C-alpha cells in the first residue's frame, strides 16, 4: 500500500516496508502535548463531568501550544514592497544578474511571439508557445512556478490554451540536504531531533518548491506524522524575484495597453499569498479553521496539527494514508467510487465558496486524497482565500439570471461581483453574453459542461475591461479541477448538474433577502407562477443531504406576510385563486367522469357539465397534478413531520394572513360564480367543448 503526503500541493509516495528510524537517546525526558485530543468517556450517551473537564484542559493546553508556536514564528517574513525595494535597491549586482537570467528566458519567448504575430501564425502556435512558457517558468524556479500556477486561474489575463498548460505546472525541484533540514527542525523547535521523534525517514518523501516532507513518529505518543521543512534561502530567492517582477508590473501598467488589469496590484496580492505560505504556523491555523468549518461532515477529513512541533519553518501534522484523486484504479481497488468522492468534493467546495466564504485555494489532485475509509482528505493549507459576503449571494443570483436568460441583470451582477468599476458601461457586454449563453443554454443544466462554460465566459472576460477578483478565478479553477477528475470515471459527468442541488437548496431555504428576491425572480414571470420551476427546485434540492421542507416553507411565508410583501401577496392571491379553481373543477371532472353515462344524461340533460374548452381543462388538470406532486415532494422530504407546520399555522393567524386568506376566498368565489353564470347562460355546445371530452374511461 502506498502512503501519500502533499508538499507544496503535490503528492509523493512511500511504499510500505520502507524503513525509517533513528537511535533513541538515553535519559532524555520530554512530555509535550500535541493538539490531537482523544474523546473522553461518555455517560449514558452524554459527556461526563470528568470528560468535560478533560476536554477543557486539553483545549487550554492546545491554545498554549499554539501560542508557543506563534512565538516561534514571530520573526516570520511578511511581504513588504518597501522593504524589498530598500534591500535589493542597494544590491544592484545581484539584481542585475537575476534580471539578465529572467530577461534572456522571457525575452526569447517574447521574440517568438513577435515572430508568430508577424508571420500570422500566432493562433496556430498558441498551444506550442503555452507549453514553452510552462517549461520556462519551471526552469526559472519557485517564484515563477508559483506565478505560473497563479496565472492558470486568470481567464482575464490568459487565453484558454495558456490556462490549460500553466495548470499543469508541477513543483518538481531537487531536494536540499537532509542535514540542513534536520538542523532547521532542531533550531526552530529548540530541542534535539532525538528528543522529538523516535524515528524519521532518512530522506524526504516529498520535495517541492517551498519545502520538503519527512515521515516521522513522535517519541512521546508514537503517532505517525508528516513533517514539512522549509527550503533554506527560499525567502531570499522569492524576495529578489518579486522585487524585479514588481518593477516589470510598473512597466506593464504604463506601456502595455492590452492588459487592462492593474499588474502591480495583482503582483502584490500574489506575493502576499506566497509569503503567507512561508509561515507554517499560519498554514496550521488555516487547517484548524478549515477543519472547524467543514469537517463536521463525516466524509471530510482534515489532518490535525501538532503545535508543540510547529514553527514558522517547520510544520508537523497528522499523517494521512490515501490515494490522490486522479488515480481511479487505485481508488477502486479500495472498494471506493471516484464519482462519490468527487461529488463530496463539489458539495464541500460549494459550502466553502458560498456558505462560509473561506476556501481552499489550491484544490488540485495532489491536495485531495481518498482515504481507505472512503473519506475525502484535504491537504496543504498554505494558500487559502475568502469570498466576500456580498459576492456569495451575488453568485447565486447570477446563476438565477443565467437560468432566466436575463443578460442585462447578468451584466449588472458584475458590479456586485467586483468585476467592473461602477463607471463602466455594461451595455456593450450584454450582446456578448447573449451570443455565448444562448448557445450554451441550449443544453439542459444536466448536459452543460462546466469547462466549456468557463472557457466561453473566459473569452468574454478577455475581450472586455473585466478585472476578475482572485476569489472568483479560484472558484472557477476549483470546480474545473473537480469536473476534470470526475471525467476520468465518467465522460458524461457534469459538475453543474452535481452543483445544482446545492443552489436549489440555498434558494429554497436561505432567509437572506437577496436570495429570497432571487427565488421570486426565478418563480414568477409576467405575473404568473412557474410551478415547473418550483417542482424542479424541490426535486433538485431534495438531492442535497441537508435539505428540509421545514426550512423551505417558513421563510417563504414570512416574506409573503411581511410589511414589504404587498406586491408578492398580489401575485400569490392571483395564483392561489387559479390553483384552487383548478383543484375544485378538476375534482368535479373526476367525479363527473366516474358517474355512469346514463346518469350523466339524467343529471345534466345531455349537456356538458361546464362551459370550458378541452385545452383549458387539460391545462387545469396539469396544474392540479403538478401542485399535488409538489406537495408530495415536500411530504417526502427527510425529517418532514406535520407538526413542523405548527409555526406556519401560527403565522397564518396573523392579521395579514387572515386578510390574505379573505382575498383568496373572495377571488375564488368570483371565479366560480362567473363559471356558474356562464354555465347557466350557455347555449348547447359541441361535446368536445364540454367535460365529456375528458372522459377517460
Indicate which residues carry an active-site annotation: 362
Q: What distance in Å separates the CA atoms of residue 248 and residue 263, rounded to the nearest whole number?
A: 9
Q: At 224, is the secondary structure helix, strand, or coil? A: strand
Give the number of other Cβ atoms within 10 Å of residue 443's Cβ. Answer: 14
Q: At 93, is the secondary structure helix, strand, or coil? A: helix
Give the number of other Cβ atoms within 10 Å of residue 22's Cβ. Answer: 17
The answer to whether the beta carbons of residues 565 and 557 sit under 8 Å apart is no
The answer to whether the beta carbons of residues 171 and 11 sit under 8 Å apart is no
User: The cell 368570483 sits on which residue?
Assistant: 670
CA distances (Å), origin 333, targets 4, 143, 336, 372: 16, 38, 7, 10
Backbone angles phi, psi at 657, to 5 degrees: -70, -40
Q: Is 693 exposed, middle or buried (0-12, 13-18, 19+ CB in 10 A)?
A: middle
Task: Tell me the helices (H) and strands (E) count for the chain, helix number first.
Answer: 27, 17
Q: Is 508 exposed, middle or buried (0-12, 13-18, 19+ CB in 10 A)?
A: buried
Q: Which residues pair with 213 in a beta bridge?
A: 206, 228
CA distances (Å), origin 387, targets 238, 348, 351: 27, 15, 11
Nine-digit cell string for 157: 489575463
Please enumerate in sequence order all residues whose Cβ is within 8 A of that of 585, keeping only pairs 6 or more positions apart, or say none: 610, 612, 617, 620, 675
The answer to whether the beta carbons of residues 4 and 321 sit under 8 Å apart is yes
The backbone region for 41, taken as left when phi is positive above 0, alpha when psi lies in -120 to 50, beta otherwise, is beta
Residue (of 673, 297, 337, 282) closest to 489 by Cα position: 337
Q: What distance in Å separates the CA atoms of residue 459 and residue 473, rounded to the nearest whole number?
A: 14
Give the number of other Cβ atoms within 10 Å of residue 172's Cβ. Answer: 12
Q: Checking DSSP bridges between strand 206-207 and strand 211-218, what pairing results, if any? A: antiparallel
CA 262 to chain centre: 26
Give the number of other Cβ atoms within 10 Å of residue 436's Cβ. Answer: 16
Element (H or E) spanning 13, and its range?
A: strand 10-15
Task: Return the ∠ at Cα 308 (arms to 303 and 312), rounded to 5°.
Answer: 85
SS3 annotation, 376-412: EEECCCCCEEECCHHHHHHHHHHHHHHHHCCHHHHHH
Helices 280-294 and 49-72, packing angle to 10 deg: 150
The answer to whether the beta carbons of residues 129 and 114 sit under 8 Å apart is no
Q: What distance in Å separates the CA atoms of residue 574 and residue 465, rounded to the nearest whole number?
A: 44
Nine-digit cell string for 105: 528566458
The answer to whether the beta carbons of residues 270 and 301 sit under 8 Å apart is no
Residue (of 262, 370, 489) closest to 11 by Cα position: 370
Q: What distance in Å separates the CA atoms of residue 301 and residue 376, rounded to the nearest whole number?
A: 6
Amino acid at each position: 500500500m502506498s502512503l501519500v503526503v502533499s508538499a507544496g500541493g503535490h503528492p509523493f509516495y512511500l511504499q510500505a516496508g520502507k524503513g525509517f528510524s533513528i537511535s533513541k537517546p538515553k535519559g532524555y525526558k520530554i512530555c509535550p502535548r500535541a493538539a490531537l485530543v482523544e474523546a473522553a468517556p461518555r455517560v449514558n450517551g452524554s459527556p461526563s463531568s470528568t470528560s468535560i473537564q478533560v476536554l477543557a484542559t486539553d483545549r487550554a493546553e492546545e491554545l498554549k501550544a499554539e501560542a508557543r508556536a506563534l512565538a516561534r514564528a514571530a520573526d516570520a517574513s511578511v511581504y513588504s514592497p518597501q522593504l524589498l525595494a530598500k534591500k535589493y535597491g542597494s544590491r544592484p549586482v545581484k539584481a542585475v544578474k537575476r534580471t539578465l537570467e529572467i530577461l534572456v528566458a522571457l525575452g526569447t519567448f517574447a521574440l517568438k511571439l513577435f515572430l508568430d504575430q508577424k508571420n500570422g501564425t500566432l493562433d496556430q502556435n498558441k498551444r506550442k508557445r503555452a507549453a514553452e512558457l510552462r517549461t520556462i517558468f519551471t526552469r526559472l524556479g519557485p517564484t515563477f512556478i508559483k506565478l505560473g500556477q497563479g496565472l492558470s486561474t486568470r481567464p482575464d489575463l490568459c487565453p484558454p490554451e495558456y490556462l490549460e498548460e500553466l495548470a499543469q505546472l508541477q513543483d518538481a525541484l531537487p531536494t536540499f540536504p537532509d542535514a540542513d533540514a534536520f538542523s532547521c527542525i532542531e533550531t526552530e523547535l529548540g530541542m534535539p531531533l532525538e528528543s522529538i521523534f523516535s524515528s524519521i525517514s532518512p530522506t524526504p518523501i516529498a520535495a517541492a518548491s517551498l519545502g520538503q516532507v519527512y515521515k516521522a513518529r513522535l517519541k512521546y505518543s508514537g503517532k505517525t506524522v508528516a513533517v514539512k521543512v522549509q527550503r533554506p534561502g527560499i525567502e531570499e530567492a522569492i524576495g529578489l524575484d518579486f522585487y524585479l517582477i514588481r518593477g516589470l508590473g510598473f512597466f506593464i501598467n504604463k506601456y502595455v495597453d492590452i492588459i487592462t488589469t492593474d499588474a502591480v496590484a495583482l503582483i502584490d496580492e500574489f506575493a502576499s499569498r506566497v509569503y503567507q505560505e512561508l509561515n507554517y504556523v499560519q498554514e496550521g491555523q488555516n487547517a484548524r479553521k478549515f477543519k472547524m468549518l467543514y469537517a463536521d461532515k463525516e466524509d471530510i477529513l482534515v489532518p490535525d496539527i501538532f503545535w508543540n512541533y510547529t514553527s514558522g519553518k517547520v510544520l508537523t501534522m497528522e499523517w494521512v494514508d490515501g490515494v490522490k484523486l486522479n488515480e481511479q484504479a487505485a481508488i477502486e481497488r479500495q472498494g471506493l467510487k471516484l464519482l462519490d468522492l468527487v461529488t463530496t468534493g463539489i458539495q464541500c467546495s460549494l459550502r466553502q465558496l458560498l456558505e462560509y466564504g473561506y476556501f481552499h485555494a489550491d484544490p488540485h489532485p495532489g491536495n485531495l486524497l481518498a482515504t481507505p475509509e472512503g473519506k475525502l482528505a484535504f491537504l496543504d493549507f498554505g494558500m487559502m482565500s475568502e469570498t466576500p459576503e456580498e459576492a456569495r449571494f451575488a453568485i447565486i443570483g447570477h446563476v438565477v439570471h443565467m437560468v432566466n436568460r436575463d443578460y442585462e441583470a447578468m451584466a449588472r451582477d458584475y458590479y456586485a461581483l467586483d468585476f467592473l468599476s461602477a463607471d463602466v458601461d455594461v451595455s456593450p457586454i450584454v450582446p456578448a453574453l447573449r451570443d455565448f449563453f444562448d448557445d450554451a443554454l441550449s443544453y439542459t443544466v444536466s448536459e452543460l459542461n462546466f469547462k466549456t462554460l468557463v472557457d466561453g465566459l473566459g473569452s468574454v472576460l478577455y475581450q472586455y475591461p473585466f478585472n476578475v477578483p482572485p476569489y472568483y478565478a479560484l472558484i472557477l479553477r476549483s470546480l474545473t479541477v473537480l469536473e476534470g477528475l470526475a471525467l476520468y470515471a465518467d465522460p458524461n459527468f457534469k459538475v453543474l448538474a452535481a452543483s445544482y442541488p446545492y443552489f436549489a437548496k440555498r434558494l429554497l431555504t436561505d432567509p437572506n433577502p437577496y436570495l429570497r428576491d432571487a427565488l421570486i425572480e426565478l418563480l414568477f414571470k409576467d405575473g404568473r407562477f412557474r410551478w415547473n420551476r418550483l417542482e424542479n427546485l424541490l426535486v433538485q434540492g431534495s438531492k442535497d443531504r441537508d435539505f428540509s421542507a421545514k426550512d423551505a416553507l417558513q421563510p417563504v411565508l414570512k416574506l409573503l406576510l411581511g410589511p414589504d410583501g404587498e406586491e408578492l401577496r398580489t401575485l400569490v392571491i392571483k395564483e392561489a385563486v387559479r390553483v384552487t379553481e383548478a383543484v375544485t373543477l378538476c375534482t368535479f371532472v373526476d367525479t363527473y367522469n366516474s358517474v355512469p353515462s346514463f346518469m350523466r344524461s339524467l343529471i345534466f340533460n345531455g349537456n356538458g357539465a361546464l362551459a370550458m374548452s378541452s385545452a383549458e381543462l387539460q391545462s387545469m388538470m396539469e396544474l392540479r397534478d403538478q401542485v399535488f406532486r409538489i406537495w408530495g415532494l415536500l411530504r417526502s422530504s427527510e425529517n418532514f413531520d406535520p407538526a413542523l407546520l405548527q409555526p406556519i399555522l401560527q403565522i397564518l393567524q396573523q392579521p395579514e394572513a387572515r386578510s390574505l386568506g379573505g382575498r383568496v376566498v373572495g377571488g375564488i368565489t368570483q371565479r366560480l360564480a362567473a363559471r356558474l353564470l356562464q354555465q347557466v347562460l350557455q347555449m348547447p355546445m359541441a361535446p368536445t367543448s364540454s367535460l365529456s371530452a375528458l372522459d377517460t374511461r
